[in-house]
Structure 1
Amino acid sequence: MTVAAPTNVCIIIAAKNATDTITRAIASALAEPEAAEVIVIDDGSTDDTARTARAADDGSGRLNVVRFEENRGPAAARNHAIAISQSPLLAVLDADDFFLPGRLRQMLSEDGWDFIADNIAFIDASQAETADGRISRFTASPRLLDLVGFVEGNISRRGVRRGEIGFLKPLMRRSFLENHRLRYNEDLRLGEDYDLYARALAKGARYKIIHSCGYAAVVRGNSLSGSHRTADLRRLYEADQAILTESPLSSDAASAIRRHERHIRDRYELRHFLDLKNQTGYMSAIGYGLTNPGALPAIVGGILADKTERFRPRQSSAPVALGGSGAIRYLLEAPVAEPRE
């Protein structure tokens, strides 16, 4: 006799102008037997995202599509989905991306966690439809991630393609979020995932990582995650400052948060300088630098690094863009056992 899989996970999809990809995302979520709810929040789209999402319903009664008339950002969309959902476990799926079959089953076979994330395969958009059969099998190799390791894994470096641990899409226990009054910070339009997970780790969350791959992230040149405003950087480093003042931290954890805060603040200072140059001219930008000497190392260093970047090879396995080669890259490095059959 076959025992039915427990349906105890709510899969949250925040979507904006995702008509071309939302059907695939929803289908992959509904295909997971453990999914009790799939909640799509159309975050003020100007296309047919909501209608396309409703058309993807499989008749099981698990799909709920909610439309925001105005764009409120992914943090607000996800918070609303959490508020209207009932399931004890929460998963986030970006509208561009999709789950690989059996993802939730693999993660739920592990115990001892409040958050659990698996590997991510970065797939060129042109190769997404045929990617499932080419995803490598990795051994789970579970390990716990602490706050220092998480924060350090989100500090990118010049000459290295993006590979931040914050890209991971963990399954989260609602009980931990409720007990610690945690929700996404709706002031953030950049790094809202990083901020939530960092605050959870600061409050003692057990964050487990397994290396098996169940999440496919589709890489597109016009992805919203690849662009941000200068003000978004300022809000993100201010969020780090809030963690430092609101949570009791070990000296190592506090030092890691300060390094991340400085990393983001340096990016902000350079972007703000360039904004001033483009909007009001060089003299205004130079005046800002002279009256804010603490920003000068970031500005000068950033400009020099930009000028010499083409001479430095890129090194990470998690790219911003893959080109048309059809290669699949992985966020977490792990030994490959065998290709999928």
Structure 2
Amino acid sequence: MSNFSANSPQIPLVVDNYGDIRWVLDFRAHPVLQRLSYDCGISHLRNGNYLFGDKTTSQLYEVTALGELLNTWKMPGYTFHHEVVEKPDGNFLVNVNKTGSTHPDGSPTVEDVIIELSRTSGSVTHEWDLKQLLDENRHALEPDPVDWAHTNAVAYDPADNTIVVSARFQGVVKLGYDDRIVWILAPHKEWGSNRRGEDLNKFLLTPLDASGQPIAAADVALGTTNHASFEWNWYQHSPWRMPNGDWLLFDNGTHRNFDPNPGTYSRAVAYRIDPVRHTVQQVWTYGKDRGAETYSSIVSRVEFLPEVNHVRFCPGYQVPTATGTGGKIIEVDYATRQPVFELSLTTGNGFGFHRADATHFGQ
């Protein structure tokens, strides 16, 4: 995603494996979309069109590859931020702010609600309010009571009809349509109860070592130190369900182990979660050894490419490049952990992209 100028819309573009720009969607002259702000990016729908939410208008849009506007969905009572994804049934899961959302004392909150929007009727068919489900008073990572959760991504799990939400300042949580919590993937420090009186500690996952045994060290579970074969996710983005059921994340590493200083490395990491035993095992990771050269404190993306068994690791903000800073798109062989492709994008402000996705555009 980029901008032509400060007063123009953000634009999506397609770059091929040689670094050549193959496609740009330019909305500068469009009567509706000329001030478009995608926030997290644009996604490819199964019908071949493109879907995005706009922060400027807080609406969802479907367009063709030629930029023709086909459908628009309004969300009265909500404003869009970060991401919208298509479910297998065609409905949309959307990260939103809810108008009038407050803590019990009346103070405002933002970025702590997920909705499902019917593609056909445009109505909200379900709402998950994280203030009801998580501990809105937990500030182990950030002290901000307004943006206490900062949801930045949502994914659907067809295996059990649940959603997985990345809350940057809390962790990753799996939620059911009955509003039950399935598990919480996060350091164990300072979890309390939710508004329903549930002790959230019972949903936390116990970390396992490489041999599948529980890690006895309490400081590893708390997140204050790492184990040789296990590290928690810190300020993560982009939960991605792999074909075998493992969960892939972009672990930004910001304030890793509750260190107030900036992080020193980001990772693509795959976790194997047992929802019955409430355990989590780190089964794959890439990026730690590359250190600052692939560290991104915010944004960024991972995805799994099952047809070639590769992981795409995409740090997107102020990543060092040969000519400045920006983002990198790195494709890694899952079996060997060796990069097979790497592309750097340099930008004037160091903001390479929020999200980079594989696409079969033009094929």
- TM-score bin, normalised by smaller chain: under 0.3
Greater helix proportion: 1
TM-score when normalising by structure 1: 0.26
Point out which structure has higher relative CO (alpha carbons under 8 A, 6+ apart): 1
